[in-house]
Amino acid sequence: MGRTSTARERLLDAACGLMLSRGFGMIGVAEICARADVKKGSFYHFFESKQALTLEAINAHWAAQRSGWVATLRGDGPAEDRLERLFLDQAAAQRAAKTEGGAVSGCLFGNLALEMSTQDAVVQARLAEIFDDQIDLVHATLTDAAEQGTIPTPAATRTTARAVLAQLEGMVMFAKLANDPSVLDGLWAQAARLLRS
């Protein structure tokens, strides 16, 4: 028998879903509570503010995603193939979002970074930490690829890892803007060219 989610978990899930589809500023506590089927008065039992909920939602979302990133990037096979798998997985997630919900959702972290970069220093700092973690994971994989001789050694830098992640985030943003996951076709080929330039 499956475990029933708690009111707190439902609030976190609702916040993630709403922030992915509509952003931070366009949703309020009442809407989050309604989506989670939790009384508004109960919200403040779990979270002291919308900001506190946002931080926990971001952390929960990254904890779930990070395990996938680690499994893919530190898994078996050549390092470059692992990086390609990460890109293909990200594109597949956007295609699934379009199929299931009618819209390309984009990246929660990228969406919030664009929206909140000058609005909330605490959320901004946490998003920067998550992107740094992603860059570190990609950098480690580039280092492996250079050691395996599949990319040039000078490409195995943190700067290149940031550029590779920016390629991924930017193309996901364009797919969201166009509401068209086909924008992501050829995404890995573009990143692979970047690694050899």
Give the CA dihedral 56, 62, 63, 69, nearest 10 degrees. Answer: 180
pLDDT digits (tens, 9 = 90+) for 14-23: 998 888 888 8
pLDDT in tens, 31-87: 999 999 998 888 888 999 888 999 999 999 999 999 999 999 999 999 999 999 999
Residue closest to 156 by CA, chosen among 144, 165, 148: 144
Query: Quick one: tokens of 151?
Result: 């990319």
* pTM recorded for the entire structure: 0.90
Largest Cα–Cα distance of the chain, in whole Å? Answer: 58
